[in-house]
């Protein structure tokens, strides 16, 4: 199947659900992104800042660029002028940097807080307790140039579907808890980003509003220089 066929197939699956598709185009050439763009797809995800900046400069300006990878503080300045959503905010220090660059660019930058839901220690993210502590602390008032619009989580890389289901269900439950418990102008939960090529169907059933799908659409990643 072509890139366009794959996107159309996944979008058909997502009909009558709350989830929308981010096509993860990392390591893929601009030609494939343009192919999808010309058939109406606008939301693309990248995990490397330099690749994201290069593509954003070369491709149509109405593309919604999602930063889905681990983001280093010293690289926030490069994407702050245009990024649509930062999925992986995993420390308060990073949030402060995003706020600083948002101020410089006269923007309020939408962010998701990444929650560590997997059993793998290699995954990044806050614990639920750390997020609650932050929300209770009143620090959010210092962040006028960010808005936290939701949560993101990555399940354990396992074939055990019941474990993946449990992790996604746990994140959705936490999302619902803090959504009703805390109110602040910079805290407006609408999105829960969970689910990739291998587990997005489970994620959608558990309430995901954003699925990040790359290899199913574009084929295996190409890391060759």
CATH number (domain holding residue 163): 3.20.20.10
44-48, 116-120, 136-140: the lowest-pLDDT one:
116-120
Asked whether residue 196 is domain-assigned, the answer is yes
pLDDT band of residue 198 (cuts 50, 70, 90) is very high
Beta-bridge partners for 211: 21
- Whether the pLDDT of residue 121 is over 90: the answer is no
For the chain, give the mean pLDDT.
Answer: 95
User: What's the pTM?
Assistant: 0.94
Cα separation, 64 vs 77, whole angstroms: 18
**Lowest mean per-residue pLDDT among 66-75, 82-91, 118-127:** 118-127
Does the residue 190 lie in any domain? yes
pLDDT of residue 223: 57
Torsions phi, psi for 54 (to 5 deg): -60, -45
pLDDT score for 225: 46
Q: Is residue 142, in this structure, part of any structural domain at all?
A: yes
Query: Is residue 59 pLDDT above 60, yes or no?
Result: yes
- CB burial string 13-48: b at 16+ within 10 A, e below: ebeeeebebbbbbbbbeeebbeebbeeebebbbbbe
What gap in Å lies between CA 68 and CA 124, rounded to an integer? Answer: 12
Would 225 be classed as within a structural domain? no
- Does some domain include residue 223? no
- The average pLDDT across 199-215 equals 97
Q: Is the pLDDT of residue 36 over 80?
A: yes
pLDDT band at 222 (very low <50, low <70, confident <90, very high): low
Task: Identify whether the C-beta of residue 198 lies closer than 8 Å to the C-beta of residue 221.
Answer: no
Structural domain including 176 reads: 3-218
Report the range of poorest mean pLDDT among 49-53, 108-112, 118-122: 118-122
Q: Which of 111, 125, 130, 191 is nearest to 156 (CA)?
A: 125
Band of residue 171 on the pLDDT scale cut at 50, 70, 90: very high
If pLDDT is split at 50, 70 and 90, which confidence band does 221 have?
Answer: low
Q: What pLDDT was estimated at residue 179?
A: 96
Higher pLDDT, 54 or 138: 54
DSSP 3-state of 16? coil
Number of domains in the chain: 1
| Whether pLDDT at 220 is above 80 | no
The span from the first CA to the last CA of the chain, in angstroms, equals 26
Query: Would 224 be classed as within a structural domain?
Result: no
Are β-strands 85-89 and 64-67 bridged in parallel, bridged antiparallel, or unpaired?
parallel
């Amino acid at each position: 199947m072509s890139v366009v066929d794959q996107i159309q197939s996944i979008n058909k699956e997502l009909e009558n659900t709350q989830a929308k598709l981010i096509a993860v185009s990392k390591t893929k050439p601009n030609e494939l992104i343009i192919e999808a763009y010309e058939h109406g797809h606008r939301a693309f995800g990248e995990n490397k800042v330099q690749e994201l900046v290069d593509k954003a400069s070369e491709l149509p300006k109405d593309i919604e660029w999602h930063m889905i990878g681990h983001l280093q503080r010293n690289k926030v300045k490069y994407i702050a002028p245009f990024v649509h959503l930062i999925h992986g905010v995993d420390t308060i220090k990073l949030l402060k940097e995003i706020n600083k660059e948002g101020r410089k660019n006269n923007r309020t930058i939408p962010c998701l807080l990444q929650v560590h839901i997997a059993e793998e220690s290699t995954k990044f993210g806050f614990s639920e307790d750390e997020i609650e502590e932050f929300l209770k602390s009143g620090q959010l008032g210092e962040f006028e140039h960010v808005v936290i619009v939701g949560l993101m989580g990555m399940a354990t890389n396992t074939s055990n579907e019941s474990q993946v289901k449990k992790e996604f269900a746990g994140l959705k439950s936490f999302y619902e808890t803090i959504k009703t418990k805390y109110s602040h102008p910079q805290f407006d939960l609408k999105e829960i980003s969970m689910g990739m090529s291998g587990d997005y169907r489970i994620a959608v059933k558990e309430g995901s509003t954003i699925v990040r799908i790359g290899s199913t659409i574009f084929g295996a990643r190409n890391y060759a220089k």
